[in-house]
Amino acid sequence: MEESKMVPIRMLTLFLLATQLHWSFTHGSSDQVRKAYIVYLGEAPRLRSNVVVHQHNLLSSVIKDESIAQQARIHSYTKSFNAFAANLLPDEVQKLKENENVVSVFPSRVRKLHTTRSWDYLRMPLSVKRNLKIESNIIVGLLDTGVYMGAPSFNDKGVGPPPSKWKGRCQVVGKFTGCNNKVIGATFYNNDPKFPQRNPSPLDVNGHGSHTSSTVAGATVAGASLYGLGKGTARGGVPSARIAMYKVCWPEGCSDIDLLAGLDDAIDDGIDVLSISIGGDSNGFFDNPIAIGAFHAMKKGIFTACSAGNSGPYVYTVQNTAPWIMTGLSINTFTPNKKMYPLTSAAIAANSNLSPGLSPWSCDQGKLDQKKVNGKIVVCKEAANETYIKSLGGIGVLISVIGKIDTSFTAIIPEASIDFSFGNTTLTYVNSTKAPQAVIYKSKRVPNVAAPFVASFSSRGPAILTRTILKPDIVAPGIDILAAYSKLASLTGSPDDNRFDVYNIISGTSMSCPHVAAAAAYVKSFHPDWSPSAIKSALMTTATEMKVKDGLAEFAYGAGQIDPTSALRPGLIYDLSTLGYIRFLCNEGYTGTHLNLFTEDHTNCSSVPKFGGYDSLNYPTLYYQYDDPNSTISAIYYRTVTNVGFRNSIYKATVTAPKDLTVTVVPNTLSFTRLHQKKSFKVTLKAPPQFVQTFQYTHRSASLEWSDGTHRVKSPILISLSQPR
C-alpha cells in the first residue's frame, strides 16, 4: 500500500519537471522546442544495476547539461530491453541517431484502441477437450484500458493460487479494490507528461480492457446477455488461464511511452501470451513500441497477438505487420412503448436557418429543427449524431448507408442502419404519405449465413513496411462480441447514455485479437514446449478457408479463419528461431551495426547463415510483390517443415494455381521417420508479363498444400502489383 500511495506523487513530480522544461523552450523557434522521444538501445544488459546510469550518461552527452538531462528523462526501460524516454531537441535527436550504441530514436506517438457464442462458432463448445492443469498455469497479459473486477467474468471461484512463475504486481490504489486468483496482476502506466491523470489506477472506466480480457480468459458465466441480447454462457477461450492487465490507455489514447513501459514489465513478469488490441502508424520495425516489445517477447518464448486495425476496406491499412507478431446493422436494447411512431426525414426536419450549401442529411449539430424532430424517428444518410437527435426529443434514427452494412453498434436511442435501396424506398414513403409512421424493434439474434466473412472495417494489406510478407496473417470473430464490460462506462461511452451493464456487445479488430490470443493459449496448453512461431504456424496452416472472397481476398483474411481445435494437430509446422527473424531483417536492409545491439551474442548480418530465396524467412505463407505489370515473374522460396504429426508419414504436395502461373515444388514428396524431424523444399513461381493486370485485378492467388491423408498443411500464395497508397 505504501508503494501505491507514492505513485501519484512521483508521477506528478515528473510531470511538473517535464512541463517546466518544455515551457522554457516554447518561446523560441521550432528547433528549440523539446518533444518526447523514445531512444531504443536494444537488448537489456544482464546486469541491470548500472543501466539507468549509462542511459543518463548517453543523454547528458548530447544535452551537455547534467541538470537539464536529469529533467529531460521521462522513463527508463531496463527489464526486458534497454531504452529510455526523454524530452529532446531536434539536434539532440540527430546526435543520438548517429550514435553507434543507439538502434533507433522515434517520437512518442499516441495510438488508438482497435475497437458468448463466438467460441461455439470456432468449434470450441463448453465440452471441448482441455488440458486444465497446464491451461491454469498459462498467464495472458493484455495491454489495454484496465479491468473492472465487478464483472462476473473475473470471478475466481474454484481457482487455485497464481502460478509460481508469476513475478508481477497488483496495484491497489484509488477505487481499484485489488486482484484475485483469476486476475492475478493489474498495473497502470501514466508516464507521458502530456496526459497526466488525476487519480490513475488499473480500474477500467472505459470497458474495452474488460471486454478483451474476458474474451481471452474470462470465467464461465451462464445466462450472460446485454439486456437479453445474445443470451447464453459467456466464457473466454481459455477460461482456466490467468489474466494480467497492464493499463496503458487513457481517455486521450495510448502513449508509446506507456506502451513500452507496460511491455517492459509484462515480458519480465512471467506471462505466456500477449494480447494487444492497439495500433498506429510506423516507419520501421524498430520505431514502433509494439514491434520492439513483441520482438523481445518472442525471444522469451511469448506469443504476441495484435489487431490489424479498423481502417478497411482500403489497401495498405493493415497495422502491426512485423513477422514475429500475429495480426491475427444494429444493437438496439430498447423495447418500443408504442406500436408506431411518426417518421420524418432530415430534409423535412432541416433547420430553416441552415446555411446554403450545407446538407442536413448527416443529422449533425445545428442542422435540424427541434419542433420537427421531437417525438419522431428521423431518416438520415451515412451518419447521424444520436446525442443531438435525442436532445431535440427524437425517438429514433434510421441511417441510409451506401456502403456495405456488416457491423452493428450500440446507440443511445433506437437506431438501425438500412441499405441505400431500402433507404430510398423509405424516403419515398415519407415524402408521399401524409402521416408516415415507423417503429424500431428491439434487436433479435439471427444466424448470419454469410459467415465467415471479413468485416468492411477490418484493415487490409499489403503491409507498408515490407514487400515480402502477407499480412494480415489470419482472421477471427470480431463482430457483435458479447463479453465483460465496466459499469463505470455507459454502453455507448456517451455521458447522455444512462445504461450501464457488466456485459456489452462490441465490434472491431480489438475483439478478434483476443480470440487469436486465446487460441494460441489453448494450443500452448497442449504443446507447452512449442515456440511462438510454431503456434503461429499451426493456427495459420489449419485455418478455415473463407466462403466469401471479396475483391481483396487474402489481403483481407490472410490464411483464413482460426480453427483452434484443428491447430492442436497441424501435422507439420514452419518453425522460426530468433536467428530466422534476424536473417529476415538483414534481407530487409537493416544494418549489422543495429542488429548486434539487440541480440545477446551481438549477431550481425555477415555472421548469419544464408537461407536464400525471395523473403529469407521460413513463413507459412508465400507473398510476392512487384511494380511493373509488363515484367516477367520469377521468384524462389525456401521452406523447412518440422514433423509434429505421425512418426512415420509421407506428405505429398498439391498446388492449386490460376492459368499461366507455374508453381514448382521440389521435392514434391516429404518422407518422415520420426517426430520433430525436419525436411526442406523449394518453391518456384513463374508467370509471363501481364499475369496481374491493373485494369482487371491487382493480385492473383494460389495455394500449396501438404497432406499425408490425415493432416492438411495449407499455405496461401499471393502475387500482387504495388498499388497507389
Query: Which of the following is catalytic: 208, 296, 527, 699?
Result: 208
Per the listing, cell 521440389 goes with 666
Residue 685 burial by Cβ neighbours in a 10 Å radius (0-12, 13-18, 19+) = buried
Point out which residues pair with 636 in neighbouring strands: 684
Instruction: Give yes or no for a contact between 214 and 154, defined as CB atoms under 8 angstroms apart.
Output: yes
Say whether 597 sits in a helix, a strand or coil: helix
Query: Which of the following is catalytic: 114, 144, 264, 512?
Result: 144
Q: Is 208 a catalytic residue?
A: yes
Tell me how far apart the alpha carbons of residues 117 and 102 are, in angstroms, rounded to a whole number.
48
Q: Evaluate the CA torsion angle 268, 106, 192, 463 in order and state its sign.
A: negative
Residue 501 identity (one-letter amino acid): D
- Could you give the residue ranges of the DSSP H alpha helices within 112-270? 118-121, 132-135, 208-217, 256-269
Tell me how far apart the alpha carbons of residues 190 and 290 are, in angstroms, rounded to a whole number.
17
Nearest Cα neighbor of 264 from 246, 282, 277 is: 246
Nearest Cα neighbor of 210 from 117, 147, 133 is: 147
Stated length of the chain: 725
Instruction: Give yes or no for a contact between 641 and 679, defined as CB atoms under 8 angstroms apart.
Output: yes
Contacts of 340 (CB under 8 A, 6+ apart): 437, 438, 439
The pair phi, psi for residue 655, each rounded to 5°, is -110, 135
Instruction: Give yes or no for a contact between 576 and 533, defined as CB atoms under 8 angstroms apart.
Output: yes
Give the orientation angle of helix 289-299 with respect to helix 532-541, to 10 degrees: 110
Residue 679 burial by Cβ neighbours in a 10 Å radius (0-12, 13-18, 19+) = middle
SS3 for 648-690 is: CEEEEEEEECCCCCEEEEECCEEEECCCCCEEEEEEEEEECCC
Other beta carbons within 10 Å of 130: 16
| Cell numbers for 625 | 510483390
Say whether 135 sits in a helix, a strand or coil: helix
Query: Which of the following is catalytic: 136, 210, 213, 510?
Result: 510
Measured at the alpha carbon of residue 517, what is the angle toward residues 515 and 519, in degrees to the nearest 5? 70
Q: What is the DSSP string of 176-215?
A: -----SSEEEEEE----TTS--SS--SB-SSSHHHHHHHH
| Cell numbers for 553 | 481476398
Tell me how far apart the alpha carbons of residues 184 and 244 are, in angstroms, rounded to a whole number.
6
Other beta carbons within 10 Å of 615: 27
Q: Is 490 a catalytic residue?
A: no
| Cell numbers for 383 | 451518419
| DSSP run (H or E) holding 23 | helix 2-23
Q: Evaluate the CA torsion angle 121, 122, 123, 128 in order and state its sign.
A: negative
Tell me how far apart the alpha carbons of residues 718 and 557 are, in angstroms, rounded to a whole number.
12
Q: Is 510 a catalytic residue?
A: yes
Point out which residues pair with 654 in neighbouring strands: 705
Which residues does the annotation mark as catalytic?
144, 208, 510
